[in-house]
Structure 1
Amino acid sequence: MFRIRRIYDDLRPVNRDALVQVQQILREQFPALNPADIDKIPELLRNPLKHGFRAILYVAENQRGQVRGFALLSYDPELGFAYLDYISAAKATTGGGIGGALYEHVREEALALGAVGIFFECLPDDPALCRDATILKQNQARLKFYEKYGALPIIGTSYETPLKPGDDNPPYLVLDPLGQPGLLCRERARPIVRAILERRYGHLCSPGYIQMVVDSFGDDPVRLRPPRYGKQPRAAAVPRLGRTRKIALVVNDRHAIHHVRERGYVESPVRIRSILRELEATSLFENLAPRDYPERFLTSVHARDYVEYFKRVCRNLPAGKSVYPYVFPLRNAARPPVELAVRAGYYCIDTFTPLNRNAWDAAKRSVDCALTAADALLEGYRLAYALVRPPGHHAERRVFGGFCYFNNAAIAAQLLSAHGSVAILDIDYHHGNGQQVIFYERADVLTVSLHGHPRFAYPYFSGFEDETGEGVGKGFNLNLPLPEQLDGVQYLEALHKALKRIGRFRPTYLVVSLGLDTAKGDPTGTWSLAARDFERVGRAVGALRLPTLVVQEGGYRNRVIGINARNFFVGLWQGALSEAEVAPSNSQARKVRP
């Protein structure tokens, strides 16, 4: 088993370790490669346009974080083409679909960027150009692999001319047009070929050689070799655009088991159904099944004693019975009572969030959904949505409350923080006290919350402007408490302040705690946002152009909750993807010019 993820920089230990492994694969699979080309890969990610290309790196990792393969793609935004530098599996890796999975990722990325195609070099499958029978067989297998995707050598040019007369195995220039209609015209091909030769091989190729090759592109349009290993490319010749153009949707498939049928308990299953019904009317989403994650992800942000208590008390309660906290430890907190139900107040901040037999299973599944959606960002999706209940943003390190048991957004942010800096934007009507407490002393996770002022809004005890963080986290918590009566225009003014702070932080990932209880008529709020306001909010958030995970929090006016959710995501998609450059086998290694 392996997963594909994109590496944006070398700022985190997990990314640096992956880059070291990528460099080792290069040394093993490309022994003739210039060591300087291997050493500069981290710099390509840090300074994407220094060398005239934007570097895009995907790695295939197993569950232990071992890199089993990688693909490095370069994109030229001026000329609008992509160049596949390397795609290779690790030396000891055979089969398993790693090469195909990596290549499908870079094809999807290139198409989303608007590239005219992917160019790369492949050694020849012509016996006249390759005299070694063993190498010839390897070359044939490699070109057969690419041909399945519609990638074919460009013919009728002098590209295969050896640098030294008589040299064996000169490479073809291969073009994958990404299933797009139309052929590459000569006037566009020539500057692309010049860019490839000058930037990649300028230290080897003389100006006269480069000019000779460029001038040889005389066909208009350029010609691709007819398929040699099959009649037609398979359907994969047209990349799917799920990861780069769709919103990954992960729904808690066990949320309905947590149905508290008591008067006044507004956090009900109908909320999810109402949202799903509206989302299905769009074509923006791609459904992903939730994965199961071990409990260590819970204890990455929550105290172990709380996690163990919550699990044990839920398991011991009879079906259909709910217990509400009613005794709180103002004195002798170090001596909790033996009875688990009475002990609930030691871990809760209110009297209306119940414990019952299904609460653990539903809450744990919400965490699984948030982590699945976070992993989707690591795997190349730009937008992901964890549609969950119970919600989570009121759950602190060792307490639950506000219908929340585990902090789904914080646990997902903790996972993402291993791969880059994270900003959490909480746009629920109520203060995101859980994220604030969990990350209050950290500088790698910025927490920002827009909410009703704690003078009148739950949870009442946190969310004040002067709560800005402690220690190294000082200045990395921003609260924007807002007045009791607020319309969409006023809300957007506050939101822009929040987004400016996030912009200055320059995070790698954004986590949005989405509360739809800011809507007009919500039974838990006092504001008056309408559907058009949610669309504007989504568009403004999307305009940050960050890999973004949205985690569902509150929102209890079921008649409009779905409509408001749909408008938010339409705006988010338009802001992030509609006009944006979409940025978050055996060795298919290709020998570059010697």
Structure 2
Amino acid sequence: MFRIRRVFDDLLPRDARTIGQVQALLRDRFPAVSEQEVRQLPAQLRDPLKHRFRTVLFAAESAERLAGFALMLHVPDVGFCWLDYIATQEGVAGRGVGGALYERVREEARFLGEAGLFCESLPADAEHCRDPDIRRENRARLRFYERLGVRIVANTAYETPLIEEPAPCPPHLLFDPLSADRPLSRDIARRVVRTILERKYGERCPEGYIDAVAESFRDDPVRLAEPRYAKPSNHALPRVSPQVVLTVNDRHDIHHVRERGYVESPARIDAILRKIEPSGLFERIRVRQYSLRHATAVHDAGMVGYFRAVCAKLGEKEAVYPYVFPIRNQTRPPRELPRRAGYYVIDTFTPLSRNAFLAARRAVDCALTAADAVLEGVRLGYALVRPPGHHAERRAFGGFCYLNSTAIAANHLAEFGRVAVLDVDFHHGNGTQDIFYERSDVLTISIHGHPNGAYSYFSGFASERGEGQGRGYNVNFPLPDGVDGEGYRAVLNRAVKRIARFKPRFLVVALGLDTAKGDPTGAWGLIPADFEKNGRMLGHLGLPTLVVQEGGYRTASLGANCLAFFRGLSEGVRERTRNTEQTI
């Protein structure tokens, strides 16, 4: 078994190792490639503007070992994609790795919406290639492409050798239309050929060569040769790859408080899933189990231990609500666990129940699984969880929150680079603020209802900016009731600019959908169009992004608002990918 992931750069140790393996395979399978080209791969991934292509690397891996790779060049200023190299390790050719890699490249090109996918392949006919051994190898490559529906571009001078030599073996130009009803126009073909010859081979092309080859494309639409080496398979064109990896707390419903007015219910997750799963935008993955050390890395171990112990002792229908709080004497906790609740719970409406710990721990597992997917190269991850977590502080929980999944995942990501946490729940993320208040490697920003009238009441003021090393790395935007979409985006724009100045490696979004019109716990008026615009603004940051579900309690609109947000987020990523601040 193998899996394919995108490698964005060499900043993470795992990605650096994978790129090193890709370079070794590139040397082995393409001996004619210059050492300079092999060595510049990490720089190409980091800095597309300098190299005039946006380099996209897909790695097929099995048990941390590279099985193969595909290297695609995206040219957004011209509007096409170019498959530069595709290769598999010896012994894996018959396992479908090459085909799967090509399908992944094709999906990416289709997602980008470009004119088509182009590549080169050496000829297998005696006219262009005299060596019979090389012809056999070339025939196998052309057979591979033709089975996938890729066609040789015919009736042009593309096969003209760059230099006169006894056996030049010049390559064919191949074209994948990505869609059966999209022919290749002559003007697009000429632009593509000029771009490739100038940017890839410009230093080697003799004077007048590029003009001659480009002008040789006279057919409109461009003619494609009939398959000569294999019959194209009849399988349907692949769908666009899901843009968001999804983890769902499959044990959230064991935590269900059946009391009038208790809005944090299992129906919230079901309402979201019913809307988002049919969209094709999400790919649900299996949730892994993680050690509690991730939780105790941000929470007081005594609090976590108490939470676990008290829940384990409760009966199936029992619930504990705190009613005595240690304002006067915090050094003498009651012996009985239920009476000790006030030492760790900050309000009187967050119950401790038999399954609260199990559900909260599973929510943490979901967030960490999605975070690890982001670390593995996924651009967007979504942990759809309940109970929520952003009100859980270092040594206290409340607001229906027990373990701060958002903060735990952000802390995990922070081991690999700076993290910006943006909380867009209607209620202040007091727990996340408390956990990172003295840290400068995690920027925390919260846009929320003013604490003068909104939970958690005692935190979330604009004057709270962090302490010690964290001074200036906590930002609050408390807003009044009645905020509409336009007013919200004005503030979100300020938050986005602050994140951009921070230059984080990752973005974590605490997604509250209780900013929506009609939410029973909020006082704002955002509609689906607003959520989509907000998501697009965040996508334009171009950061690997983890979204963790927090609040949102109007089940009638939860799904539509959530789907709108992620459509905007993924579209923003697409726009950022296609349009850089400077022209490549």
TM-score bin, normalised by smaller chain: 0.7 to 0.9
Judged with a 3 Å threshold, the aligned counterparts in structure 2 of structure 1 residues 9 and 537 are, in CA distance, closer, same or farther, namely same
2:242 alignment partner, SS class: helix
Is contact 1:543-1:576 (8 Å) kept?
no
Candidates 572, 575, 578, aligned match of 1:581: 575
Is contact 1:15-1:419 (8 Å) kept?
no
Confirm whether residue 293 of structure 1 aligns to residue 289 of structure 2.
Answer: yes
Candidates 493, 498, 508, aligned match of 1:496: 493
Q: Output aligned runs, 1:83-94, within 5 Å.
A: 83-90=82-89
Write the distance in 1 (CA, Å) between the matches of 2:296 and 2:226. 57
Judged with a 3 Å threshold, the aligned counterparts in structure 2 of structure 1 residues 221 and 508 are, in CA distance, closer, same or farther, namely farther
Whichever residue aligns with residue 87 of structure 1, its letter is I
Whichever residue aligns with residue 573 of structure 1, its letter is R
Deviation at 1:175? 1.7
Deviation at 1:471? 4.6
Whichever residue aligns with residue 581 of structure 1, its letter is E
Confirm whether residue 49 of structure 1 aligns to residue 49 of structure 2.
Answer: yes
Deviation at 1:432? 0.9
Judged with a 3 Å threshold, the aligned counterparts in structure 2 of structure 1 residues 457 and 231 are, in CA distance, closer, same or farther, namely same
Whichever residue aligns with residue 106 of structure 2, its letter is R
Q: Deviations over 1:92-140 (max 9, x none)?
A: 8666544333322222222222222222222333356556665544433
Deviation at 1:302? 4.3
Q: Which residue of 1 aligns with 2:20?
A: 20
Of residues 316-325 and 40-49 in structure 1, the stretch that sits farther from structure 2 once superposed is: 316-325
Deviation at 1:479? 0.8
Q: Output aligned runs, 1:510-549, within 5 Å.
A: 510-519=507-516, 522-529=519-526, 534=531, 537-538=534-535, 540-542=537-539, 544=541, 546=543, 548-549=545-546
Is contact 2:268-2:558 (8 Å) kept?
no
Whichever residue aligns with residue 144 of structure 1, its letter is R
Confirm whether residue 77 of structure 1 aligns to residue 76 of structure 2.
Answer: yes
Judged with a 3 Å threshold, the aligned counterparts in structure 2 of structure 1 residues 116 and 131 are, in CA distance, closer, same or farther, namely same
Whichever residue aligns with residue 292 of structure 1, its letter is R
Write the distance in 2 (CA, Å) between the matches of 1:473 and 1:172. 58
Q: Deviations over 1:8-60 (max 9, x none)?
A: 34444444444333333333433442221122222223321223212222333
Q: Which residue of 2 aligns with 1:432?
A: 429
2:472 alignment partner, SS class: coil
1:207 alignment partner, SS class: coil
Q: Output aligned runs, 1:391-540, within 5 Å.
A: 391-417=388-414, 421-483=418-480, 486-519=483-516, 522-529=519-526, 534=531, 537-538=534-535, 540=537
2:50 alignment partner, SS class: coil
Is contact 2:7-2:15 (8 Å) kept?
yes
Write the distance in 2 (CA, Å) between the matches of 1:178 and 1:370. 35
Is contact 2:6-2:377 (8 Å) kept?
yes
Deviation at 1:311? 4.1
Whichever residue aligns with residue 500 of structure 1, its letter is K
Judged with a 3 Å threshold, the aligned counterparts in structure 2 of structure 1 residues 551 and 125 are, in CA distance, closer, same or farther, namely same
Write the distance in 1 (CA, Å) between the matches of 2:62 and 2:304. 28
Judged with a 3 Å threshold, the aligned counterparts in structure 2 of structure 1 residues 51 and 381 are, in CA distance, closer, same or farther, namely same
Q: Which residue of 2 aligns with 1:355?
A: 352
Deviation at 1:391? 0.9
Write the distance in 2 (CA, Å) between the matches of 1:362 and 1:487. 34
Whichever residue aligns with residue 38 of structure 2, its letter is I
Q: Deviations over 1:336-369 (max 9, x none)?
A: 6665545555543334323333223322332343
Whichever residue aligns with residue 478 of structure 2, its letter is P
Q: Which residue of 2 aligns with 1:156?
A: 155
Q: Which residue of 2 aligns with 1:591?
A: none
Deviation at 1:500? 2.8
2:466 alignment partner, SS class: coil
Q: Which residue of 2 aligns with 1:589?
A: none
Is contact 1:315-1:357 (8 Å) kept?
yes
Confirm whether residue 100 of structure 1 aligns to residue 94 of structure 2.
Answer: no
Is contact 1:243-1:382 (8 Å) kept?
no
Whichever residue aligns with residue 52 of structure 2, its letter is G
User: TM-score of the superposition, structure 2-length normalised?
Assistant: 0.85
Of residues 408-417 and 34-43 in structure 1, the stretch that sits farther from structure 2 once superposed is: 408-417
Whichever residue aligns with residue 120 of structure 2, its letter is E
Of residues 437-446 and 370-379 in structure 1, the stretch that sits farther from structure 2 once superposed is: 370-379
Deviation at 1:151? 1.6
Deviation at 1:504? 3.2
Whichever residue aligns with residue 434 of structure 1, its letter is G
Whichever residue aligns with residue 260 of structure 1, its letter is V
Write the distance in 1 (CA, Å) between the matches of 2:21 and 2:406. 30
Whichever residue aligns with residue 126 of structure 1, its letter is D
Aligned residues: 576
1:49 alignment partner, SS class: helix
Is contact 1:279-1:562 (8 Å) kept?
no
Whichever residue aligns with residue 113 of structure 1, its letter is L
Structure 1 segments unaligned to the other structure (5+ residues): 585-594
Judged with a 3 Å threshold, the aligned counterparts in structure 2 of structure 1 residues 515 and 132 are, in CA distance, closer, same or farther, namely same
Q: Deviations over 1:482-532 (max 9, x none)?
A: 235655554444333223323433445433222233345544344455566
Judged with a 3 Å threshold, the aligned counterparts in structure 2 of structure 1 residues 15 and 488 are, in CA distance, closer, same or farther, namely same
Q: Which residue of 2 aligns with 1:260?
A: 257
- Identity between Structure 1 and Structure 2 (%): 55
Q: Which has the higher contact order (CA 8 A, sep 6+)?
A: 1
1:243 alignment partner, SS class: coil
Write the distance in 1 (CA, Å) between the matches of 2:56 and 2:543. 15
Deviation at 1:334? 7.3
Is contact 1:353-1:402 (8 Å) kept?
yes
Judged with a 3 Å threshold, the aligned counterparts in structure 2 of structure 1 residues 216 and 512 are, in CA distance, closer, same or farther, namely same
Whichever residue aligns with residue 286 of structure 1, its letter is F
Q: Output aligned runs, 1:111-130, within 5 Å.
A: 111-126=110-125, 129-130=128-129
Q: Which residue of 1 aligns with 2:582?
A: none
Is contact 1:155-1:223 (8 Å) kept?
yes
Aligned-residue CA RMSD in angstroms? 3.6
Write the distance in 1 (CA, Å) between the matches of 2:499 and 2:558. 24
Q: Which residue of 2 aligns with 1:370?
A: 367
Structure 2 segments unaligned to the other structure (5+ residues): 579-584
Whichever residue aligns with residue 233 of structure 2, its letter is P
Write the distance in 2 (CA, Å) between the matches of 1:535 and 1:30. 45
Confirm whether residue 563 of structure 1 aligns to residue 563 of structure 2.
Answer: no
Is contact 1:382-1:582 (8 Å) kept?
no
Write the distance in 2 (CA, Å) between the matches of 1:415 and 1:191. 45
Whichever residue aligns with residue 562 of structure 1, its letter is A
Q: Which residue of 2 aligns with 1:235?
A: 235
Write the distance in 2 (CA, Å) between the matches of 1:170 and 1:223. 19
Write the distance in 2 (CA, Å) between the matches of 1:29 and 1:308. 55
Deviation at 1:168? 5.9
2:577 alignment partner, SS class: coil
Of residues 431-440 and 375-384 in structure 1, the stretch that sits farther from structure 2 once superposed is: 375-384
Deviation at 1:448? 0.9
Deviation at 1:392? 1.3
Of residues 192-201 and 131-140 in structure 1, the stretch that sits farther from structure 2 once superposed is: 131-140
Confirm whether residue 269 of structure 1 aligns to residue 266 of structure 2.
Answer: yes
Is contact 2:531-2:564 (8 Å) kept?
no
Deviation at 1:267? 0.9
Is contact 1:516-1:565 (8 Å) kept?
no
1:50 alignment partner, SS class: helix
Write the distance in 2 (CA, Å) between the matches of 1:335 and 1:420. 41
